[in-house]
Amino acid sequence: MSRLTSARYPWRFGLVCVAVVALASVIGWRIIDLHIVDREFLQAHGDARSVRYVPIPAHRGLITDRNGEPLAVSTQVLTLWGNPKELMGERARWAELAQALGVDGKELARRIEINAQREFMYLARGMTPEQGVSVLKLNLDGVYARDEFRRFYPSGEVAAHVVGFTNVDEQGQEGVELAFDEWLRGVPGKRQVLKDRRGQVIKDVQVLSNARRGKTLALSIDLRIQYLAHRALRQALLDFDAKAGSLVLVDVQTGEVLAMANQPTYNPNNRRNLDPAAMRNRALIDVFEPGSTVKPFTVAMGLNSGKYAPATVMDTRPGYMQVGRKTVRDVHNYGVLDITGVIKKSSNVGVARIALDVGGEHLYSMLQQVGMGQDTGLGFPGERVGNLPNFRVWKPIETAVMSYGYGLSVTAAQLAHSYAVLANEGKTVPLSLVRLDQRPEPVSVMNAEVASQVLTMMRTVVDEDGGTGSKARIPGYQVGGKTGTVHKTKAGGGYEDKKYRSVFAGVAPISKPRIAGVVVIDEPRPKFGQYYGGFVAAPVFGEVVGGALRLMNVMPDNLPKPAPEEPALAEQAKAKQGGRS
C-alpha cells in the first residue's frame, strides 16, 4: 500500500528533502551570522551573565571641632552577605560558618532556612577587614563580601548629643549627622567588573564614575571645653543625686556654641543597650520655666523706660505684696533696696513692682527681643522654641509672675542666647553650631548703656558678699550672673512641692564679655539642706567658664593688686641703686 502511495505522489519525498535542506541552511546561516556578521548579539548576552556594575562606596564627610579635632570619621569595613539557595548545599558547614561569624549556630541555620528561596541575605555588617577575610577563607559557596564604611566617634559620649549618629547605611539619624546629612553624604561611584558563576570578581574592567566623598563640617564646639563641661556636669549629678542636667556656653560676639553638654548621655559607638531618654539633647529640647534668671531683663525694661535708674530706691517691705487675690513673696524681708539690690538679693517683690509700673506689654516686648519664645537659628532636629505667651491685656498677676520667670518656658540654649544679648552691648546674633569664618552682622535690640548697667548689677550677684551666686566666682575674672530655683510643674497642672530645677545663667568677663553660659540641674536632692541654683548650678558655671577663658587666652580683668612696698624696703632699694650708680 505504501509503495503504491509513494508511486502515486513522488513529489512529497522531494518536498520533505527540500524542507530539511532549507532548514539546515537557515540554521547554518544564523550560526555564521551570529559568530561572524552580528557578533555583538552573543557578546551582549554573554556579558549580561558575567559583566556587573558594582557601586564604589563613598566616604561620608569628616566632622571636626572648631580646632580640627575629629568628632566623626568613616572607616572602611567589610559586609558579608550570602545566597541562601547556594548555602543550602553547604549545610554540613553551617556550624563552621557561624563560629567564624561569631553568631549562634541555630539562629544562623534558622535564617538560612527561612530565606531558602531567596538569593540575598546579610550575614554580618561592619566587620573589620581581618574578620571578614577569615570568613571568606572558608571558601563556602554562597558567601560573598562587599566594601562599606562605618562611622566612628572618637569623643564618644562627650559630644554625642551634638554630633548625633548614623545608621548602618551611614544615613544621619540624630544631631548634626541628621541636620547636615546632605552636606556630609558622599556620592557613590560605579565600576564595571567581571564575575564568575559564584559571583566573585575575577576582573576589574573599568571605572565608570569615581566616588565623591562628603564635605567636611567644622563645628563651633571646642572639644577641650566640651570635655570640661561633660566632666563638671557629670560630677554635679553625682554630688546632688540629680536626675539630669544641661550646660550651654556661647561666644557672645559670634553666637557660636562653644560647648553643649547633657547628662545622662550615651556612647554612639555602642548602642546595643541604649536608653532612648539618654539620647535627648536636653539643652535644645527640654523646656522649663527660667525663674529668677529672667529678672535682669525685667530690670532692663525698667531702666529702658526711663522711670528707673540703678540707684532708684524701692521698698520691698514686708517681704510680700498682694496682687489681686494672689501673693508675691520674697524668701526674706529685704527692706529698702536700690535696683542693684533687687538683682543682688533676687527680690520677687522688687521686679514685680517694676513690671506692674512699666506694663506687661513692655515686658513682653523685652523678652521677645532678647530671644525668648523665638528660634535660636541653630536648625537642630527637634529643637523647641519654648513658650512666651502672646501679649493681650494681661492680668496684673500674669505680669507679676512673668517678671520673675514663671508663666513662660525656655530651653537652656535660648536662655544662653538671651544672656549673650546683655553681654554683647544689647546686640543679638543667631546661634551657630558651625564654626564661622566671619562674624555675623548683629542687630541691636537693647540700649547699650542699659545692657552695661545690668551687667554691672549682675556682677554684684557673684562678686560681692551677700550675692546669691558667689560660688560662680572665677579667680582673676569679673563674673556676672543670676541664680534661679524653680518649682517643677506637674503633668496635670500646678507645681511640685519638693522637685526643683536649679539654674545659673551668667557672663564673663564683665569688663569685656566673651562667654555667656547657662547651667541647669534637674531635680537635685537637697544636700546640707541646699538645692538652690547658687549652691548647685553656680559652681559648675564657675569651673567650666574659668577653664574656657584660660583655654581661649582671654585676658584676666580682676587680678589682685600688688601689695604696696613698705617705706623702709623702698628706701633700702633706692640706697642700693644709688650705691651701684
Q: Do 75 and 107 fall within a single domain?
A: yes
Burial class (CB in 10 A: 0-12, 13-18, 19+), 574: exposed
Bridge pairing between strands 244-251 and 217-218 = unpaired
Confidence of residue 133 (pLDDT cuts 50, 70, 90): confident
Q: Do 229 and 213 fall within a single domain?
A: no
pLDDT of residue 581: 39
Peptide bond between residue 264 and the one before it cis (omega within 30 degrees of 0): yes
Domain final position from 218, 243, 258: 218
The average confidence (pLDDT) of the chain is 87
Beta bridge partners of 414: none
Is 15 a residue whose pLDDT tops 90?
A: no
Q: Do 79 and 97 fall within a single domain?
A: yes
Residue 559 is assigned to a structural domain of this protein: no
pLDDT of residue 542: 96
Q: Do 498 and 535 fall within a single domain?
A: yes
User: Looking at residue 471, what DSSP letter applies?
Assistant: G
Count of domains observed in the chain:
2
Residues 6+ away with beta carbon under 8 Å from 528: none
Residue 38 is assigned to a structural domain of this protein: no
Q: Do 170 and 293 fall within a single domain?
A: no
Residue 530 is assigned to a structural domain of this protein: yes
Please give the share of the chain, as a percent, with pLDDT higher than 70.
89
pLDDT of residue 47: 56
pLDDT tens by residue, 529-576 = 688 999 999 999 999 999 999 999 999 988 877 766 555 555 665 565
CATH code of the domain containing 409: 3.40.710.10
The Cα–Cα gap between 343 and 292 comes to 9
CATH code of the domain containing 109: 3.90.1310.10
pLDDT tens by residue, 240-258 = 999 999 999 999 999 999 9
pLDDT tens by residue, 412-423 = 999 999 999 999
Q: Do 205 and 238 fall within a single domain?
A: no
Q: Do 100 and 165 fall within a single domain?
A: yes
Domain final position from 183, 202, 218: 218
The C-alpha angle with vertex 485 and arms to 398 and 513, in degrees rounded to 5, equals 95
Give DSSP secondary structure letters for 319-375. SEEEETTEEEE-SS---EEEHHHHHHHT-HHHHHHHHHHH-HHHHHHHHHHTTTTS-
Q: Do 157 and 227 fall within a single domain?
A: no
Q: What range defines the domain where residue 291 resides?
A: 223-271+278-551
Helix (H) or strand (E) holding 147: strand 143-152
pLDDT tens by residue, 458-512 = 999 998 888 889 999 999 999 999 999 998 888 777 888 888 999 999 999 999 9
The Cα–Cα gap between 81 and 124 comes to 7
Question: Which amino acid is residue 404, in one-letter code?
Answer: Y
Is 451 a residue whose pLDDT tops 90?
A: yes
Q: Do 200 and 235 fall within a single domain?
A: no
**Mean pLDDT throughout 356-379?**
93
Residue 10 is assigned to a structural domain of this protein: no
pLDDT of residue 75: 83
The larger pLDDT score, comparing residue 393 to residue 55, is at 393
Residue 565 is assigned to a structural domain of this protein: no
Residue 213 is assigned to a structural domain of this protein: yes
Is 217 a residue whose pLDDT tops 50?
A: yes
Is 158 a residue whose pLDDT tops 90?
A: yes
Active-site annotation holder among 74, 155, 292, 502: 292
Phi, psi (deg, nearest 5) at residue 358: -80, -35
* Torsion sign across C-alpha atoms 126, 127, 129, 134: negative
The Cα–Cα gap between 274 and 265 comes to 10
Residues 6+ away with beta carbon under 8 Å from 498: none
Residues 6+ away with beta carbon under 8 Å from 291: 404, 405, 406, 484, 485, 486, 501, 503, 533
Is 293 a residue whose pLDDT tops 50?
A: yes
Confirm whether 292 is a catalytic residue: yes
**Mean pLDDT throughout 175-188?**
90
In 3D space, the residue among 556, 363, 568, 395 whose CA is nearest the CA of residue 477 turns out to be 556
Residue 121 is assigned to a structural domain of this protein: yes
Question: Which amino acid is residue 171, in one-letter code?
Answer: Q
Q: Do 509 and 539 fall within a single domain?
A: yes
pLDDT of residue 449: 96
pTM of the model: 0.81
Confidence of residue 580 (pLDDT cuts 50, 70, 90): very low
**290 three-state secondary structure:** coil
pLDDT of residue 435: 96
Q: Do 451 and 502 fall within a single domain?
A: yes
- Print the SS3 string covering 434-469: ECCCCCCCCEECCCHHHHHHHHHHHHHHHHCCCCCC
pLDDT of residue 493: 77
Residue written as cell 531702666? 303
Residue written as cell 548545599? 89
Residue 443 is assigned to a structural domain of this protein: yes
Confidence of residue 363 (pLDDT cuts 50, 70, 90): very high
pLDDT of residue 21: 81
Contact assessment for residue 479 and residue 463, using Cβ atoms and an 8 Å cutoff: yes
Q: Do 76 and 111 fall within a single domain?
A: yes
Please give the share of the chain, as a percent, with pLDDT higher than 90.
56
pLDDT of residue 374: 92
* Torsion sign across C-alpha atoms 462, 464, 467, 468: positive
